[in-house]
Amino acid sequence: MSQATVTRRYRFCAAHRLHTDQLSVEDNRTIFGKCNNPNGHGHNYVVFVSVRGEIDPRSHQVVDVLKLDAVVERTVVRRFDHQDLNQDPEFASQTTTGENLVLLIWNLLVNEMPAGRLVKVGVIETRDNYFEYSGSAAQTRAEDGVRHG
Ligand SMILES: Nc1nc2c(c(=O)[nH]1)N=C([C@H](O)[C@H](O)COP(=O)(O)OP(=O)(O)OP(=O)(O)O)CN2
Ligand SMILES: [Zn+2]
C-alpha cells in the first residue's frame, strides 16, 4: 500500500507577552522589545498538523479528517482559543515564543495518535513568523526503525 501525508489547518486567537522571570526587567525589555509590553498583545494563530500513513484501500484516505479535527479541537484549539497563553500552566516556566508553542502543540498531539503518525506541526504567528517541529531526532530515529524494521 502507498503512504501519503495529510496536512490540516486550524486556527485560534490568543494573547501573550514575551517575558520570563528568569531575566531582569531590563533584560526582558532588551530581548523582547515591544513584545514585552506588560499589557500583552494577540495573534490569530494558524496551526498546520501533518499526519502520515497508509492510504486505506477501502476509503482511499490516510486519515478521517473529522476524527483528526476532533482531537485537535479538544487538545489544542479549545485550550488556547481566546486565552492568555501566559496563564497556561505549561507557560508558567517558559516564554510564549512560537518555538515553545509549536513544541507544546506537538507534545499535546503526539500521544493522541499511534507512534509515527504525527510528522509535523507548523504554527503561523504573524505574517512574518512561522515555526515548525517534527519531533526530536531520537523520536524520528525510533519511528524510522518502526517504519522500516
Ligand atoms: N524567535 C522569535 N522571535 C519573535 C517571536 C517568537 O515567537 N520567536 N515572537 C515575537 C512576537 O510574538 C511578536 O508579536 C511578533 O513579532 P513580529 O514578527 O515583529 O510581528 P509584529 O508584532 O510586528 O506583527 P506584524 O503585524 O506582522 O507587524 C517577536 N519575535
Ligand atoms: Zn506576539
- Each residue's pLDDT tens digit, 125-134: 999 999 999 9
Question: What confidence score (pLDDT) does residue 118 get?
Answer: 98
How far is the C-alpha of 113 from the C-alpha of 62, rounded, in Å? 13
How high is the pLDDT of residue 63? Answer: 97
Q: Give the Cα separation of 111 and 15 in Å (integer).
A: 26
**Cα–Cα–Cα angle for 81, 99, 48, nearest 5°?**
55
Spatial separation of the C-alpha atoms in residues 58 and 110, rounded to whole Å: 26
Superfamily for domain range 3-148: 6-pyruvoyl tetrahydropterin synthase/QueD (3.30.479.10)
Whether the per-residue pLDDT at 143 is higher than 70: the answer is no
Residue 73: the pLDDT is: 98
Q: What is the pLDDT of residues 84-122, one digit of tens each?
A: 999 999 999 999 999 999 999 999 999 999 999 999 999
The DSSP bridge pattern shows strands 41-54 and 118-124 to be: antiparallel
pLDDT at 136: 84
* 41 Cβ below 6 A of ligand 1: yes
Closest CA to 49 of 35, 67, 31: 67
Domain ranges of the chain: 3-148
Catalytic residue among 16, 19, 43, 125: 125
ipTM of the complex: 0.92
The string of pLDDT tens digits covering residues 19-63 is 999 999 999 999 999 999 999 999 999 999 999 999 999 999 999
- Contact status, residue 20 vs residue 97, Cβ threshold 8 Å: no
- What number does the ligand 1 atom closest to the CA of 97 have? 7
- 13 carries an active-site annotation: no
> Using a 6 Å cutoff on CB, does residue 97 contact ligand 1?
yes
